[in-house]
Amino acid sequence: MHPSTSEPRNLLFPRLTAYGFAIGGAVHLIAFMLVGAGIRLYGAGYPTWRHVVMASVDELIAWIGFRHPAWLFVALPLWIAEQIIVNGVRVEPIVVTCAVIGLAWERRRHGRSRA
């Protein structure tokens, strides 16, 4: 069981979500470091400071996914809203929306198995 909830640590969707955001954070960190070498992975219009912010946000969401999976129901919709406002509807918010649906399904299934 997870130390702060009654959820087992082996739930699939929180771990997949956490790993995905950890990778996303690493990509933003690498992109930030490459800017110093004159390489812009996200194009010239992407602000350098945004890489630092998004790396931090992504790593925070990864931590939430590993340590407090129930908090993902707050963190992920906020992340989705930010992404749609800033970038429009693209693949990333759609994938994360699917993760939220998977989290809900898995939590419901877990709840039924305990009843």
Which sequence spans correspond to the domains of the chain? 12-114
Residue 111 has pLDDT above 80, yes or no: no
Close Cβ partners of 74 (under 8 Å, ≥ 6 residues apart):
none
Residues 6+ apart with CB under 8 A from 77: 100
Q: Which residue has 């929306």 as its token pair?
A: 97
Tokens of 96: 């994360």
Torsion of CA 81, 83, 86, 90, to 10 degrees: -120
The C-alpha atoms of residue 63 and residue 60 are separated, in whole angstroms, by 5
Can you tell me whether residue 105 is helix, strand or coil?
helix
- Whole-number Å distance between alpha carbons of 56 and 108: 30
The HSE-up count of residue 109 (CA atoms within 13 Å, CB side) is 10
**Mind listing the pLDDT tens digit for each residue in 5-63?**
555 567 888 999 999 999 999 999 999 999 989 999 888 888 999 999 999 999 999 99
pLDDT at 10: 73
